[in-house]
């Protein structure tokens, strides 16, 4: 079940998480994700006004803004979620970790176009990072605190700075990321 997986992921990623009941009752990022799951279902059912109204209530209660149109996989952890913004055409894969103040934002106003980032499986986005536009954060990539990312981040690499630059990391098999020499 998704709820159990969410709780396990919080416990795995947050050393301060002590007990499943504590996690269920006090983690605003998790509450925001749970409400998102409902609003996304309503969005798909074309009940968009109701979806948006519920997402506004969730933002008020949690400090986390997730557009109901975003596509989010299982196991997302939003740690200390206040200030997180996830735009309408953002895609987030499974087991992603996002910290407070992160923006997955758009750079254009074209209707029907993908305007927001795609974040791949196992990525970690540190506090205050801004990832803008239709770009990709690769699998198991990391984005440093307060980085402003305007270009793709390859798998297993780290993006830091303003504007962000890529720092190659070694993959588990010893190879370096694909954009290390750019």
Sorted by where each begins, the domain ranges of the chain are: 2-167
Task: State how beta strands 158-160 and 165-167 pair.
Answer: antiparallel
What DSSP string runs through 7-50?
Answer: HHHHHHH-TT---HHHHHHH-HHHHHHHHHHHHHHHHHTT-HHH
Is the CA virtual torsion 155, 160, 164, 167 positive or negative? negative
Chain mean pLDDT for the chain:
89
Q: For 115-136, what is each residue's pLDDT tens digit? A: 999 999 999 999 999 999 999 9
| Structure-token pair, residue 45 | 């059912």
Is the CA virtual torsion 163, 166, 167, 171 positive or negative? positive
**Residue 152 and residue 133 in contact, taking contact as beta carbons nearer than 8 Å:** no
Q: For 36-56, what is each residue's pLDDT tens digit? A: 999 999 999 999 999 999 999
Q: Which helix (H) or strand (E) holds 78?
A: strand 77-79
Q: Given this model, what pLDDT does residue 177 score?
A: 44
Fold type of domain 2-167: UDP N-Acetylglucosamine Acyltransferase; domain 1 (2.160.10)
Q: Which helix (H) or strand (E) holds 2?
A: helix 2-13
Q: Residue 171: which pLDDT band, with cuts at 50, 70 and 90?
A: low
Q: From residue 77, how far is each of 95, 111, 119, 163, 176 by CA, in Å?
A: 7, 29, 13, 25, 27
pTM of the model as a whole: 0.88
Q: For 16-43, what is each residue's pLDDT tens digit? A: 888 888 888 889 999 999 999 999 999 9
Range 123-151 average pLDDT: 97
| CA–CA separation, 54 and 98 (whole Å) | 22
Q: Given this model, what pLDDT does residue 176 score?
A: 44
| CA–CA separation, 62 and 8 (whole Å) | 20
| CA–CA separation, 137 and 152 (whole Å) | 6
Query: Could you check whether the bond before residue 50 is cis, i.e. omega within 30 degrees of 0?
Result: no
Q: For 153-165, what is each residue's pLDDT tens digit? A: 999 999 999 999 9
- C-alpha 85: how far from chain center: 9
């Amino acid at each position: 079940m998704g709820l159990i997986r969410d709780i396990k992921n919080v416990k795995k990623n947050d050393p301060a998480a002590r007990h499943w009941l504590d996690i269920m009752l006090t983690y605003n990022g998790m509450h925001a994700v749970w409400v998102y799951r409902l609003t996304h279902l309503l969005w798909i059912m074309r009940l968009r006004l109701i979806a948006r109204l519920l997402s506004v209530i969730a933002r008020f209660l949690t400090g986390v803004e997730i557009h109901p149109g975003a596509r989010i996989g299982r196991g997302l952890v939003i740690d200390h979620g206040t200030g997180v913004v996830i735009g309408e055409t953002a895609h987030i894969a499974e087991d992603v970790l996002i910290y407070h103040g992160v923006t997955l934002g758009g750079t254009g106003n074209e209707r029907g176009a993908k305007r927001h980032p795609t974040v791949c499986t196992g990525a970690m986005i540190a506090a205050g990072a801004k990832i803008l536009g239709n770009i990709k954060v690769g699998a198991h990539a990391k984005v440093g605190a307060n980085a402003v990312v305007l270009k793709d981040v390859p798998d297993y690499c780290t993006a830091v700075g303003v504007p962000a630059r890529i720092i190659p990391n070694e993959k588990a098999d010893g190879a370096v990321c694909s954009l290390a020499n750019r």
